[in-house]
Amino acid sequence: MIKDAPFPVEPWTVRETRLDLDLIAQSESVFALSNGHIGLRGNLDEGEPHGIPGTYLASFYELRPLPYAESAYGNPESSQSIVNVTNGKLIRLLVDDEPFDVRYGSLVSHERVLDMQAGTLTRQAEWISPAGKRVRVKSTRLVSFTQRAIAAIEYEVEAVDSPMQIVVQSELVANEATPTMSDDPREAAAMTSPLEAVDQTITERGVVLVHCTKASKLQVAAAMSHTVDYDGQFDVETQVVPDWARLTAVATLQPGQTLRLVKYVGYGWSSVRTQQALRDQVSGAMVVARRVGFDGLLAEQRSYLDDFWDAADVEVVGDDDIQQAVRFGLFHVLQAGARTEGRGIPAKGLTGPGYDGHTFWDTEAFVLPVLTYAKPEAAAHALRWRYSTLQLAKQRAQMLGVRGAAFPWRTIRGQECSGYWPAGTAAMHITADIASALARYTAITGDESVEIEGGVELLAETARLWMSLGNYGRDGKWHVAGVTGPDEYSALADDNTYTNLAAGHNLHVAADAAERHQELSAQFGVSPDEIAGWRAAADAVFLPYNAELRIHEQNAGFTNLPEWDFEASRESYPLLLHVPYFELYRRQVIKQADLELAMCTFSSHFSDEEKARNVDYYEPRTVRDSSLSANVQAVICAEVGHLELAHDYAYEAALIDLHDIHHNTRDGLHIASLAGAWVALVAGFGGLRDVANQLSFDPHLPKDISSLCFNLRWRGSRLKVDVSHDEVTYSLRDGADEVVFRHAGEELTLQSGESTVRKIAKRSPLLPRPSQPLGREPAARPSRTE
């Protein structure tokens, strides 16, 4: 964890006021820019020094072998890893033939600013060369939300107090050397120089390089084009070789004189189109970008973000750290999903190589709920991508000997990439999570297009999977055996409560969709009898319950397992790096909130007393070795009245990357946890629920937050919720003629343009504040430590 966080607390920016080379990799993730299609890590313009260089394209991957000590039927033979594609960020500077390098000479000042309203990363540096020449360098970088294929950089060099010759070298570089992410030499070999040169073209306006991956056979085109502004004589030269292209501009600057270079970079990739088609695509994108110009791109960027923030912003009064962090989280969630358009949203977005660029259940369970309320068209893109992989999921189910569709635990293209069965394929709940995200999208937006275009089939095939996996027991209840729930420290368990409820929900929403679209569902062989079977199983779902303790069990028999020795483990977290899985699987120790997630997601299945008792039991056993836990615990702790504990968890979820709480921000941001900051505030303290297709709120604030205001979209309307400790104001800003929702169980109807105020009753917990495992209390907020 970064104890002295390098970023001052500001409401709309993340500012780095000094360059700490020991934290450069973390900063590269924090300052990453993306639009969901292109991702640029926040590397310095000159490329060195760096932590992890990275330029990524959504779903662009290379195949690599998956090693096994013993082969087994059903194990995937290869995995997919995101590729560091051709780097177009590089702009090097020579001052009287000495390279601008922050490690040499004297760095007088250095500041970088991520502006979440402008959508830019700016950098200002003043540097004195070893020979004593002082220059100021300023750059502004963006990845365009409006022009999907385009990134752009404005780079300015000013001579401060003496004449100097400068050389600006703008480059495209393929097959950059990157740090090895694995000790397996086969994997390292697969990812060393993964791009083979296919074509190099110099045009009047720029350069295009086309490459192809060696194993996956995906082609990528990268282009660059420039404008140079300088009041004087300058020379320009362009060079190109298979893995590298460079534009060089040479000029002599007098004191106070500036050279300005604008660099446009374009990217495109395909598995089917020809190199000529790709080359023409990026060349065309460059023409449009140059026509708009850098100032035009800046204006488009701000306009796009103005519209986003108008319907997505969260205002927090009383906790400036969380205020900055929740906007940082929303900004990166938007960057991860805005322009995916047929691709998945990886767990790290396009901010780093962590998890090999794979998409997990994080997307549907944590990211899509936020996007559905804040940027629904981005959620629709992600859902359509899942449908595009349905045939692969059906093939996977067939290999596993079950019916329907079994979606992969981790993937880029749609094939299963997890080589570890207990925490991979056995986590079948991902299939229900996808179905739930689709149903939530339809309910929140009122848009049935995703459902009609493929969702009905997806829901039917996922329902068939559960009917194949589940069975009726002698007790007449419907059970699911041998699966792994959200808690990966309890693998291959019977009747995981979250999984059973998720499966039942999947069956219900599949039946609802099939009945709404009878002709369409009939095309997929869905009959009234099959629908009736789905509903019967869903209504008979078994929920394990310990009557003596009066709590629900995370899975059948969980409360009979031996207890974990938390005292002996207090210096050994995360446990998976210090303890064999065999020990974890057979004891009462929880990696991430599991039963608590079930209570958040399927709230109506639990009474208030049951929720309170469950929280009291499971909190002391949950070690939060996963970034997906704190936001869930924030929501459920707020619901049962532990508002200060919920505030602590919300702080941890929100600050996970700005403070590097899990010590791995260098590999990329935790997009689900950043989405979870919104969830913790809006669902936790705002009390947002969308159960049974109905919108409801029951807000309560912790003592250190004096007010909370958030916006969201509901079926084409924009709703504003303004919460204080005593009352809440609901305002329907525009859209539908009226919106019906609930406040603390009371049904309300708002007309467009109207507001209504309701008092907030004080919420008292039924039980005392629960403890956490030794050494695993939530991260301390500054106000708690003063």
Conformation bin of residue 106: beta by default, left when phi > 0, alpha when psi is -120 to 50 = beta
H/E stretch holding 778 reads: none
**Cα–Cα distance for residue pair 585/485, rounded to 1 Å:** 12
277, amino acid identity: A
**Cα–Cα distance for residue pair 760/727, rounded to 1 Å:** 5
H/E stretch holding 408 reads: none
Query: Is residue 237 among the annotated active site residues?
Result: no
Q: Specify the length of the chain in residues.
A: 786
Residue 103: CB atoms within 10 Å? 9
In the chain, the N- to C-terminal Cα span, in Å, equals 19
User: Which residues pair with residue 182 across a beta bridge?
Assistant: none
The gap from C-alpha 187 to its chain's centroid, in whole angstroms, comes to 25
Q: Which residues contact 262 (CB under 8 A, 6 or more apart)?
A: 152, 153, 154, 155, 226, 227, 228, 229, 293, 294
H/E stretch holding 130 reads: none
Token look-up 């991260």 returns 779
Closest by Cα among 672, 675, 752, 662 to 716? 752
C-alpha triplet 407, 408, 411: angle, nearest 5°: 130
Token representation of residue 720: 């504003």
The gap from C-alpha 216 to its chain's centroid, in whole angstroms, comes to 25
Q: Which residues contact 519 (CB under 8 A, 6 or more apart)?
A: none
Candidate list 154, 457, 488, 596, residue with the active-site label: 488
Closest by Cα among 471, 403, 399, 473 to 431? 403
645, amino acid identity: L
Q: What is the DSSP-derived secondary structure letter of residue 640? A: T
C-alpha triplet 466, 361, 601: angle, nearest 5°: 75
Residue spans of alpha helices (H) in 454-554: 456-469, 497-516, 518-523, 528-539
- State the DSSP string of 250-279: EEEEPTT-EEEEEEEEEEEEESSS-HHHHH
Which long-range contacts link 134-139 to residues 24+ away (Cβ below 8 Å)?
A: 134/108, 134/159, 134/160, 134/161, 134/162, 135/93, 135/95, 135/100, 135/159, 135/160, 135/164, 135/166, 136/160, 137/45, 137/93, 137/100, 139/45, 139/91
Token look-up 């000159």 returns 46
**Cα–Cα distance for residue pair 182/103, rounded to 1 Å:** 28
Q: Which residues contact 773 (CB under 8 A, 6 or more apart)?
A: 564, 566, 569, 570, 589, 620, 621, 622, 623
Which are the catalytic amino acids?
488
